Amino acid sequence: MTLAVVRTLGSAQGLRSEHFTQDFEQELVDQYVIASDGLSDQFVAQERGTIFEFIRFVGRPVWTVEAADGDKYMQWLRRERGLAHSTLQNKACTIGRFFDFVIARYQGDVQELFGCVVASPIDEFNKPRSKSRSASTRIPPRVEEVKVLFDGWADALPDARKYLPAARDYVAASLWRRLGLRINETVMLDLRDWHPDLGDHGKLHVRFGKGSRGRGPKVRIIPAINDADALLEWWLNEVRPQFGDDWDDPDAPMFPSERRDRISTRCARVGDDALRAGLNAAVQAWLPTWSGRLTPHGLRHYCASSLYQRGLNLKAIQELLGHEWLSTTTVYVHVHDRHIERSWAVANERLTTRFHDGKEG
């Protein structure tokens, strides 16, 4: 997120009006949105909605909130609204980013006008932490099982009741399988993010990668290896144009919804729920033993494991998946069969050879 200086100390004096407090609070949110220029409209709208939801919940100016307000807000989201853990994390990160912005830009103005010191209501104590999953839920299917799933899925596409969304769900899931994309990264891809002229396979510009500790989207550019290039060419040249006349608009979503945007009447962006539902239906049909267990993130684990088995080194897999730390990548690699035993045998063979060579010398 690129931030530009928009106000200086004392400039808020010019904001005085009949409803000064409400106007100033609105100005803080508006300036935060302006400073978020370059992010997608959908992302900014989600951020704005969460901020106003928090403001309404607290019921008083944001510069007066405390950590206890953050505690109550997170409890309300969890207990009363029953939101998913990942949604709680996203909302907490949004509130944290907004208050970081207010503190960095407007701390002086707020203190001058209201005599308050702004403090973020989200801290290390009330911010939802990542839930660890058992090893059994992370270990992906075998290569043979994934092949059965995607072969059956592909063969059934021509006879699908709704061909276009079926093909869309298949291609999206194939990117999780072949390139290890996250589902949110897939949803946010636009047509302009595919660069077939870069490198040997073409490259995808992933602009909404998962950032760490609320730092905003992490950008990366990845090669379309593992036959993803042919898949994308088929999708963009033969199938995507059938969704609508925005097929040559670089800002149009790569994976559209069947629904239309109310304002532009063009294809809306598909939601992650639709893609999850497509994968679940395919698993139920062609890999029922994994029904209810195989997720988009599970295919991301499968991608890491299968590429490692094929000889790709961990550093390359780390860059492909967009991990900040190599230790995270190692958690994603699950090797079946007798890989460790074979590696141990090879290592012993090398040791024995060196021992005998040294003895003979």
Give pLDDT tens digits for 158-183. 999 999 999 999 999 999 999 999 99
Letter for the amino acid at 5? V
- How is residue 203 written in tokens? 């490259």
Q: What percent of the chain has pLDDT over 90?
A: 49
Q: What percent of the chain has pLDDT over 70?
A: 84
Confidence class for position 151, pLDDT limits 50, 70, 90: very high
Please report where in the chains the tokens 């602009």 appear, as a residue.
207
Using only C-alpha atoms, the chain has a radius of gyration, in whole angstroms, of: 25
Least Cα distance to 168 among 261, 276, 245, 248 occurs for 276
Asked if 239 contacts 164 with a C-beta cutoff of 8 angstroms, the reply is: yes
Asked if 203 contacts 275 with a C-beta cutoff of 8 angstroms, the reply is: no
Please report where in the chains the tokens 């901020």 appear, as a residue.
51
Asked if 189 contacts 253 with a C-beta cutoff of 8 angstroms, the reply is: yes
Query: What are the domain boundaries of the chain?
Result: 11-114, 135-339
Tell me the per-residue pLDDT of 208-234, one tens digit each, with 9 for 90 and over.
Answer: 888 654 556 789 999 999 999 999 999
Least Cα distance to 237 among 229, 166, 275 occurs for 229
Length of the chain: 361
pLDDT value of position 338? 58
CA–CA gap between residue 144 and residue 354 (Å, rounded): 38
What CATH architecture is 11-114?
Orthogonal Bundle (1.10)
Neighbour count for residue 213 (Cβ, 10 Å): 8
Give SS3 for 249: coil
Instruction: Examine the pLDDT at 199 and tell me if it is beyond 80.
Output: yes
What is the CATH topology of the domain spanning 135-339? hpI Integrase; Chain A (1.10.443)
Residues 6+ apart with CB under 8 A from 45: none
Asked if 82 contacts 75 with a C-beta cutoff of 8 angstroms, the reply is: no
pLDDT value of position 178? 97
Backbone torsions φ then ψ of 269, nearest 5 degrees: -80, 135
Instruction: Examine the pLDDT at 138 and tell me if it is beyond 70.
Output: no
pLDDT value of position 232? 97
pLDDT value of position 39? 65
CA–CA gap between residue 86 and residue 163 (Å, rounded): 31
Asked if 242 contacts 323 with a C-beta cutoff of 8 angstroms, the reply is: no
Q: What is the average pLDDT across 139-158?
A: 95
> Which CA distances in Å does 133 have to 85, 130, 142, 347?
13, 9, 19, 32
- How is residue 204 written in tokens? 């995808």
